[in-house]
Amino acid sequence: LSIVENARRLKSRTPVPESVVKIPTELLNELAGKLPYPLTKDQRRAIKEIVADMASHLPMRRVLSGDVGCGKTYCMMIPALATQRLGLRAVILTPNALLAAQFVNECKEHYGQDTNIIAVTSATKRIDSELASNPVLVGTTALLSRLKNEPPPAFFAVDEEQKMSVGQKIELTG
């Protein structure tokens, strides 16, 4: 394929009605209210746009860009937790095990140690038993192979997507 044809194919999206996830505003407000400080205007806008994309029949493909330390984590954390609380699977990929653990620890710090979220890395032995309780799964690309036989998650975010191969990106957007 030519570069233009490949870009057009990757950009086109087919409606997928079963991918619609409608997150109530009250749930978002509850989750945001547990953070140590109010969300910024940009964070609120990003979360609002993510949630609007999730409520669409077109699967979301969104890039959230910002400097290190600007609060992008919360823009992924809140929709992921909301999705999980609705009984749906939420997955967040991080570039390394250290960031996966950091994400999980930060989430538990704000939402309580009993928050149903786990880090999955190449060092994690098994997750089969945990999957039944529908935790938010945070991990490296090692997580992808463990989810091959699972239904696709309702919320899937990739932190630092540039660290993924082209093949992995195409597989995920498929």
State the pLDDT confidence band at 139, using cuts at 50, 70 and 90. Answer: very high
Q: What is the pLDDT of residues 62-120, one digit of tens each?
A: 677 777 777 788 999 999 999 999 999 999 999 899 999 999 999 999 999 999 999 98
pTM: 0.84
Q: What is the DSSP string of 77-107?
A: HHHHHHHHHTT--EEEE-SSHHHHHHHHHHH
Q: What is the pLDDT of residues 86-102, one digit of tens each?
A: 999 999 999 899 999 99
The total of other beta-carbon atoms located within 10 Å of residue 155's CB is 23
Q: Which residue has the higher pLDDT, 61 or 133?
A: 133
